[in-house]
């Protein structure tokens, strides 16, 4: 309770700042937590989708090569020359001179496929009489090839193409000395069309590097890898990675396409897919921490952004609370001085919000108090008051200037440069505006008058308004012009152009002699006008009496004063482009 009471006794600025910070922190923390969760799930989903697509790509590439090898075997099995060789070999022996041309023809057929398909390491054809034909393969010892396990498997399954990934003890050597574990062997039996008996077997070795290339074409991060097992769980292909041998085949037999396991104190996700017609499996392994690294980076960046946002929010909140508290403190100081008897003081607010309305009510209250005081002494001081009123009427401008000079001196004494600047501008505004009753003033005074007005408006619209007054030509400085013709145009540019615009506005004032006339231009980069709106304004400059053209009242007044003074050859022109700005030109005699 004591803490709450102490908090309640703190300043409004402090409490507002604390409230803002708490709301901002809760909002940012909630958004960050939700964002991190969503991002984490998105990373996991994206990783899984990428992995599934990658497995499908590798699987399709491998199946493509397998189908291609099976098609080649089918073409060879149905080739007339190959069929003739096997049929003739069943009735002759290896020494028969008629066998030599057939063997040569078969060798040419084999050569065609080997040349067309670089992925083929070699093709070997063996008949039932242990006669064989090959361009790249030979047997190492004289033991019959018909006793090889791959031959027997093919002969036992004459209607199928068999894939042998790890043949044991092959009696075959190759020209470039590849070993059996560097190839995948496809075998198919050749049957006698008449009897259905097996005439021989075709063996086709496909280089395993083709599968390696297909696997290495996909990316799985720094530590992810892919390997392939056969139907018995033996490894057909794997990269050099000891993690492969730590994966238990029982995990893969569980039936789940994706499992999570810890290997060597590191979490891995293992995903698998099957080659349905051969029973092989493609297995993808990648560590979780690589995927989580993106989340960790996201969390780091989120923390940085949160800290920066909190700092920015506190800064903005400070300025915001200051904008609220500053006029309240100003009103409080005026109230304290009014309590001490300074009833002439008034609160001057820049806005019409609740604080501005409170200030207006205070001003009315002080004014009523003054009126009551005057009423009490009115009977006793009637004559003196009348004399004083006459005197005040005589010295009003002088008193106003002295008062402004006093305010300026007080502001300088307190180093309030902004107040000094606005008081000087206000003094110039009144001094030039009154001009001792003169209707015509030098052009340089008119420019100075509108510059004073711009200075005051810049103070009012902090950071939203800037201006530029081009250098006045020397020969035009003393030119007499109708006073107070630029200020209404600048006011119109601010309230109907720049105030409606997002961002900072800029006003430029130019003076020049053109075609025997003095031309004054007020240019702004405000909202501008659409063609139909511009036409209404132009008509309003001439026909302001029409309610449809009420927006041109200020421009009408300036234009009407100029025409009544100088004639219909002079006046103003309005040019505007929507979202680009407006240019108002004043034409006066030189």
% of residues, the chain, pLDDT over 90: 12
Output the DSSP codes for 443-499: HHHHHHHHHHHHHHHHHHSTTTEEEEEPPPPGGGTT-EEESSSSHHHHHHHIIIIIT
Examine the domain organization and report whether 186 and 266 are in the same domain.
Answer: no
pLDDT at 509: 95
Examine the domain organization and report whether 109 and 258 are in the same domain.
Answer: no
Phi, psi of 393 (to 5 degrees): -65, -35
Evaluate whether residue 318 is within a structural domain.
Answer: no
Distance CA 162, CA 151 (A): 10
As given in the structure block, the two tokens for residue 469 are 């007054």
104-124 pLDDT, tens digit each: 888 899 989 988 998 888 898
Evaluate whether residue 41 is within a structural domain.
Answer: no
Examine the domain organization and report whether 152 and 247 are in the same domain.
Answer: no
Examine the domain organization and report whether 534 and 430 are in the same domain.
Answer: yes
Examine the domain organization and report whether 256 and 171 are in the same domain.
Answer: no
pLDDT at 538: 86
Choose one of 156, 180, 203: the last residue of a domain: 203
- The mean of the pLDDT values for the chain is 79
Look-up of token digits 């020969």: 475
What CATH number does the domain containing 253 carry?
3.30.450.20
Evaluate whether residue 166 is within a structural domain.
Answer: yes
Among residues 446, 417, 416, the alpha carbon closest in space to that of 433 is found at 446
Q: Could you tell me the pLDDT band of residue 323, with boundaries at 50, 70 and 90? A: confident
| Range of 202-206, 246-250, 292-296 with top mean pLDDT | 202-206
Examine the domain organization and report whether 96 and 234 are in the same domain.
Answer: no
Predicted TM-score of the model (pTM):
0.44
Examine the domain organization and report whether 540 and 449 are in the same domain.
Answer: yes
As given in the structure block, the two tokens for residue 27 are 């909002």
Evaluate whether residue 465 is within a structural domain.
Answer: yes
Q: Which residue has the higher pLDDT, 363 or 37?
A: 363
Examine the domain organization and report whether 421 and 505 are in the same domain.
Answer: yes
Do the Cβ atoms of 103 and 135 come closer than 8 Å?
A: no
Residue 264, CB half-sphere, CA atoms under 13 Å: how many?
8
Number of domains in the chain: 3
Among residues 234, 228, 261, 267, the alpha carbon closest in space to that of 247 is found at 261
Residue 502 DSSP SS3: coil
Q: Could you tell me the pLDDT band of residue 388, with boundaries at 50, 70 and 90? A: very low
Q: Which residue has the higher pLDDT, 102 or 256?
A: 102
Q: Which domain holds residue 84?
A: 78-203
Query: How many C-beta atoms lie closer than 10 Å to residue 406's C-beta?
Result: 11
Choose one of 203, 236, 271: the last residue of a domain: 203
Question: Based on C-alpha coordinates, what's the Rg of the chain?
Answer: 49
Phi, psi of 218 (to 5 degrees): -110, 155
Distance CA 257, CA 243 (A): 19
Examine the domain organization and report whether 453 and 562 are in the same domain.
Answer: yes
Distance CA 427, CA 434 (A): 11
Choose one of 153, 180, 203: the last residue of a domain: 203
Examine the domain organization and report whether 181 and 227 are in the same domain.
Answer: no
pLDDT at 295: 63
Distance CA 237, CA 208 (A): 8
Handedness of CA 427, 429, 432, 435 (dihedral sign): negative
Report the alpha-carbon angle 172-176-179, nearest 5.
50
| Range of 37-41, 73-77, 81-85, 284-288 with top mean pLDDT | 73-77
Distance CA 142, CA 135 (A): 18
Examine the domain organization and report whether 542 and 436 are in the same domain.
Answer: yes
Examine the domain organization and report whether 282 and 136 are in the same domain.
Answer: no
Evaluate whether residue 399 is within a structural domain.
Answer: no
Among residues 549, 571, 574, 545, the alpha carbon closest in space to that of 560 is found at 571
Q: What size, in residues, is the chain?
A: 590
Evaluate whether residue 539 is within a structural domain.
Answer: yes
pLDDT at 588: 94
Handedness of CA 203, 204, 207, 213 (dihedral sign): negative
- List helix spans (H) across 78-143: 80-89, 99-116
Q: Which residue has the higher pLDDT, 454 or 305?
A: 454
Is 392 a residue whose pLDDT tops 60? no
Among residues 485, 475, 509, 474, the alpha carbon closest in space to that of 435 is found at 485
Distance CA 68, CA 63 (A): 8
Do the Cβ atoms of 272 and 257 come closer than 8 Å?
A: yes
3-state secondary structure 151-182: HHHHHHCCCCEEEECCCCCCCCEECCCCCHHH
- List helix spans (H) across 480-519: 487-493
Distance CA 283, CA 302 (A): 35
Q: Which helix (H) or strand (E) holds 202?
A: strand 198-207
As given in the structure block, the two tokens for residue 424 are 């000087």
What CATH number does the domain containing 530 carry?
3.30.565.10
**Residues contacting 85, CB < 8 A, separation 6+:** 99, 102, 103, 105, 106, 125, 127, 133
Evaluate whether residue 570 is within a structural domain.
Answer: yes
440-462 pLDDT, tens digit each: 889 999 999 899 889 888 888 88
Evaluate whether residue 371 is within a structural domain.
Answer: no
Query: How many C-beta atoms lie closer than 10 Å to residue 267's C-beta?
Result: 12
Residue 544 DSSP SS3: coil
CA separation, residue 401 to residues 19, 418, 446 (Å) = 46, 18, 19
Mean pLDDT, residues 230-244? 76
């Amino acid at each position: 309770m004591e803490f709450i009471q102490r908090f309640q006794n703190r300043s409004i600025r402090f409490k507002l700042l604390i409230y803002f910070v708490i709301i901002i922190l809760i909002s940012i923390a909630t958004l960050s937590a939700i964002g991190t969760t969503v991002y984490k799930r998105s990373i996991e989903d994206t990783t899984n989708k990428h992995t599934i697509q990658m497995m499908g790509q590798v699987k399709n590439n491998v199946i493509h090569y397998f189908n291609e090898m099976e098609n080649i075997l089918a073409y060879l099995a149905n080739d007339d020359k190959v069929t003739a060789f096997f049929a003739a070999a069943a009735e002759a022996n290896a020494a028969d001179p008629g066998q030599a041309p057939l063997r040569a023809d078969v060798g040419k057929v084999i050569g065609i496929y080997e040349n067309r398909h670089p992925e083929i390491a070699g093709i070997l054809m063996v008949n039932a009489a242990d006669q064989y034909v090959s361009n790249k393969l030979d047997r190492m010892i004289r033991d019959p090839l018909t006793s090889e396990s791959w031959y027997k498997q093919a002969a036992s399954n004459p209607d199928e193409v068999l894939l042998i990934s790890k043949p044991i003890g092959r009696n075959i050597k190759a020209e470039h000395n590849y070993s059996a574990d560097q190839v995948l062997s496809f075998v198919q039996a050749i049957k006698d069309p008449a009897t259905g008996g097996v005439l021989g077997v075709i063996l086709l070795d496909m280089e395993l590097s083709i599968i390696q290339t297909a696997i290495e074409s996909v990316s799985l991060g720094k530590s992810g890898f892919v390997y392939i097992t056969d139907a018995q769980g033996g490894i057909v292909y794997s990269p050099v990675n000891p993690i492969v041998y730590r994966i238990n085949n029982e995990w893969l037999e569980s039936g789940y396409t994706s499992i999570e396991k810890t290997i060597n104190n590191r979490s891995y996700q293992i995903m698998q897919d099957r080659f349905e017609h051969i029973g092989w499996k493609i297995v993808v392994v990648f560590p979780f921490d690589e995927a989580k690294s993106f989340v960790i980076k996201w969390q780091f960046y989120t923390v940085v952004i949160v800290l920066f946002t909190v700092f920015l929010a506190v800064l903005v909140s400070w300025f915001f609370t200051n904008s609220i508290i500053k006029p309240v403190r100003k009103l409080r100081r005026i109230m304290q001085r009014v309590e001490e008897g300074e009833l002439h003081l008034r609160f001057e607010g820049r806005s019409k919000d609740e604080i501005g309305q409170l200030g207006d009510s205070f001003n009315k209250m002080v004014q009523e108090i003054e009126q009551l005081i005057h009423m009490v002494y009115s009977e006793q001081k009637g004559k003196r008051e009348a004399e004083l009123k006459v005197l005040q009427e005589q010295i009003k401008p002088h008193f106003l200037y002295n008062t402004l000079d006093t305010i300026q001196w007080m502001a300088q004494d307190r180093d309030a440069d902004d107040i000094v600047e606005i008081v000087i501008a206000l003094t110039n505004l009144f001094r030039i505006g009154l001009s001792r009753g003169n209707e015509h003033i030098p052009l340089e005074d008119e420019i100075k008058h509108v510059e004073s007005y711009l200075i005051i408006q810049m103070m009012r619209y902090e950071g939203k308004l800037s201006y530029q007054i081009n250098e006045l030509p020397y020969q035009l400085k003393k030119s007499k012009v109708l006073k107070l013709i630029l200020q209404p145009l600048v006011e119109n540019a601010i309230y109907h152009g720049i105030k409606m615009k997002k961002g900072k506005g800029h006003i430029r004032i130019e003076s020049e002699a053109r075609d025997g006339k003095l031309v004054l231009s007020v240019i702004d980069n405000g909202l501008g006008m659409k063609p139909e709106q511009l036409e209404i304004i132009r008509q309003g400059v001439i026909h302001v009496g029409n309610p449809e053209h009420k927006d041109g009242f200020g421009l009408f007044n300036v234009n009407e004063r100029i025409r009544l003074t100088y004639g219909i050859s002079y006046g103003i022109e309005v040019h505007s482009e929507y979202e680009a700005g407006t240019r108002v030109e004043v034409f006066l005699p030189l």
